[in-house]
């Protein structure tokens, strides 16, 4: 055992987490919140300037693609380059990119400028996350990986919950310029702070060109999760199934039902829609807290029970819609079940991610986690699109969607049980 590993273990035993881990957390807070605020404010600014909802939809939809593309690339880089240097570079780069946006604003086409900026922000987010996730096993003890993941997950949930809210408030008060100036400064401060992270790295000698090595890394990581450790590939499919069936339904189905199917007035529906979004985000946050508290009590062999519980919780949601209960009764049941489902799904995701971080060799953690993130991320917009089309066709028959989702969730749960055992 190296002196560095000994120091990590000693610090972990005395304080729970090392100073280096908390520096990663602090950088994550600034980067994720700044990125989330900008990704919310820029499309809203585009809509206000152009007045085109269709243009907003196209720009927002295309901007999502770099997230899926850059996750595997970020994973490959994370396994070959010091993860601290990746975080530092990306934060400095984002700060400079924001300044460049301010310089070009008003001098080039706004639509193209916003599209490129959103492309870059989503791409940076895709490359940043594998480095953070892959750094956890190097900075904390094995028995603290679950709790560390819970901390990272809570930050991600909070950024998703508070980022748009803060961005909306800031934009309404001060407009786009102060947001961009503040974001550029925050990214710069985060990068400077991350310079002081001490991150262990096993150097790998390069014997081929970068492109050839990249291709070999992609093949190696795919082979690892499909042939050498196929259970990891199958668990990745389970995570994708959770996003496809559960998360997408919560994100698309519940707002559609509140806004269009329940008999609320237009002003009531708008307010309740906002509350519902907040409830779902709180569910994800509570799941992160729950995973941190439960820690070692969560066994991978029992993870299927979490998915089965989500499937069972779909049933009362379908029942209140099928029986055409009062709007407030239906809303209360949907909100309560949705909150618990999002919490359980969050615990499940953290559990699977922790299992992968512990079982995968250190030199491959970044690449493998990147594939998990990419596949799971791609599943969600597919699910959202499918549910959007289905709800538009079914109308009052939306209860059938929840019953179908319950059956699919239980099928995924039993597949997960077979894999985990």
Contact between residue 373 and residue 168 where contact means Cβ atoms under 8 Å apart: no
Residues 6+ apart with CB under 8 A from 20: 8, 139, 197, 198, 199
Tokens of 258: 């509140």
139 part of a folded domain:
yes
204 part of a folded domain:
no
Is the pTM here over 0.75, yes or no? no
Total domains in the chain come to: 2
Q: Where does the pLDDT of residue 182 fall: very low under 50, low under 70, confident under 90, or very high at 90 and above? A: confident
Q: What is the mean pLDDT of the chain?
A: 79
Q: Is the pLDDT of residue 273 over 80?
A: no
User: So what's the pLDDT on residue 57?
Assistant: 59
Express each pLDDT in 9-26 by its tens digit: 444 444 467 888 888 888
CB atoms within 10 A of CB 221: 22
Q: Is the pLDDT of residue 349 over 50?
A: yes
Contact between residue 348 and residue 306 where contact means Cβ atoms under 8 Å apart: yes
Tell me: do 233 and 180 sit in the same domain. no
Tokens of 192: 């400077």
Tell me: do 243 and 296 sit in the same domain. yes
214 part of a folded domain:
no
The Cα 288–Cα 27 span in angstroms is 19
The Cα 210–Cα 223 span in angstroms is 20
Q: Where does the pLDDT of residue 214 fall: very low under 50, low under 70, confident under 90, or very high at 90 and above? A: low
Tell me: do 161 and 229 sit in the same domain. no
User: So what's the pLDDT on residue 308?
Assistant: 92
11 part of a folded domain:
no
Tokens of 351: 């559990």
Contact between residue 183 and residue 42 where contact means Cβ atoms under 8 Å apart: no
Tell me: do 144 and 236 sit in the same domain. no
Q: Pick the residue with more confidence: 235 or 10? A: 235
Tell me: do 174 and 238 sit in the same domain. no
How distant, in Å, are the alpha carbons of 223, 248, 253, 255, 262 from that of 354?
A: 20, 23, 30, 31, 40
**End position of a domain, from candidates 157, 176, 194:** 194
∠ CA 135-22-13 to the nearest 5 degrees? 85
Report which DSSP code applies to 54: H
DSSP state string for 309-373: HHHHHHHHHHHHHHTT--HHHHHHHHHHHHHHHHHHHHHHHHHHHHHHHHHS-GGGHHHHHHHHH
The Cα 179–Cα 45 span in angstroms is 11
Q: Where does the pLDDT of residue 408 fall: very low under 50, low under 70, confident under 90, or very high at 90 and above? A: very high
Check which CATH number belongs to the domain holding 237 and give it.
1.20.1250.20
The Cα 151–Cα 272 span in angstroms is 29
CA atoms within 13 A on the CB side of 382: 13
Contact between residue 219 and residue 400 where contact means Cβ atoms under 8 Å apart: no
Q: Where does the pLDDT of residue 56 fall: very low under 50, low under 70, confident under 90, or very high at 90 and above? A: low
72 part of a folded domain:
yes
81 part of a folded domain:
yes
Tell me: do 241 and 160 sit in the same domain. no
Tell me: do 178 and 233 sit in the same domain. no
Q: Could you give the percent of the chain with pLDDT greater than 70?
A: 83
HEC string for 237-281: HHHHHHHHHHHHHHHHHHHHHHHHHCCCCHHHHHHHHHHHHHHHH
Q: Which domain holds residue 330?
A: 220-420
209 part of a folded domain:
no
């Amino acid at each position: 055992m190296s002196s560095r590993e000994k120091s990590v273990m000693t610090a972990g035993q005395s304080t729970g987490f090392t100073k280096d881990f908390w520096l990663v957390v602090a950088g994550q807070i600034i980067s994720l919140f700044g990125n989330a605020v900008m990704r919310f404010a820029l499309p809203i600014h585009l809509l206000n300037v152009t007045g085109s909802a269709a243009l907003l939809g196209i720009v927002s939809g295309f901007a999502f693609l770099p997230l899926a593309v850059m996750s595997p690339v970020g994973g490959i880089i994370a396994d070959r380059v010091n993860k601290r240097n990746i975080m530092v570079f990306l934060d400095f780069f984002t700060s400079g990119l924001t300044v460049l946006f301010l310089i070009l604003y008003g001098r080039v086409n706004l639509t193209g400028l916003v599209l490129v900026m959103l492309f870059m922000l989503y791409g940076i987010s895709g490359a940043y996350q594998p480095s953070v996730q892959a750094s956890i096993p190097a900075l904390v003890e094995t028995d603290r990986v679950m709790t560390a993941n819970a901390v990272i997950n809570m930050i991600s949930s909070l950024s998703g919950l508070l980022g748009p809210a803060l961005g909306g408030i800031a934009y309404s008060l001060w407009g786009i310029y102060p947001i961009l100036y503040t974001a550029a400064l925050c990214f710069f401060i985060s990068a400077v702070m991350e310079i002081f992270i001490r991150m262990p790295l096993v150097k790998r000698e390069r014997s081929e060109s970068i492109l050839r090595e990249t291709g070999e890394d992609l093949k190696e990581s795919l082979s690892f999760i499909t042939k050498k450790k196929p259970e990891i590939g199958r668990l990745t499919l389970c995570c994708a199934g959770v996003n496809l069936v559960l998360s997408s339904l919560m994100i698309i189905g519940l707002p559609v039902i509140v806004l269009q199917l329940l008999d609320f007035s237009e002003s009531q529906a708008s307010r309740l829609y906002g509350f519902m979004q907040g409830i779902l985000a709180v569910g994800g946050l509570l799941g992160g807290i729950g995973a941190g508290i439960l820690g070692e009590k969560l066994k991978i062999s029992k993870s299927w029970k979490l998915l089965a519980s989500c499937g069972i919780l779909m049933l009362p949601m379908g029942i209140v819609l099928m029986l055409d209960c009062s709007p407030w009764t239906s809303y209360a049941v949907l909100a309560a079940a949705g909150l618990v489902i999002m919490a359980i799904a969050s615990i499940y995701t953290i559990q699977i991610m922790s299992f992968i971080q512990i079982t995968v060799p250190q030199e491959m953690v970044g690449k493998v986690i990147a594939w998990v993130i990419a596949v799971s991320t791609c599943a969600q917009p597919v699910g959202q699109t499918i549910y959007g089309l289905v709800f538009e066709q079914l109308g009052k028959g939306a209860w059938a969607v929840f019953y179908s989702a319950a059956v699919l969730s239980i099928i995924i749960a039993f597949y997960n049980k077979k894999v985990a055992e």
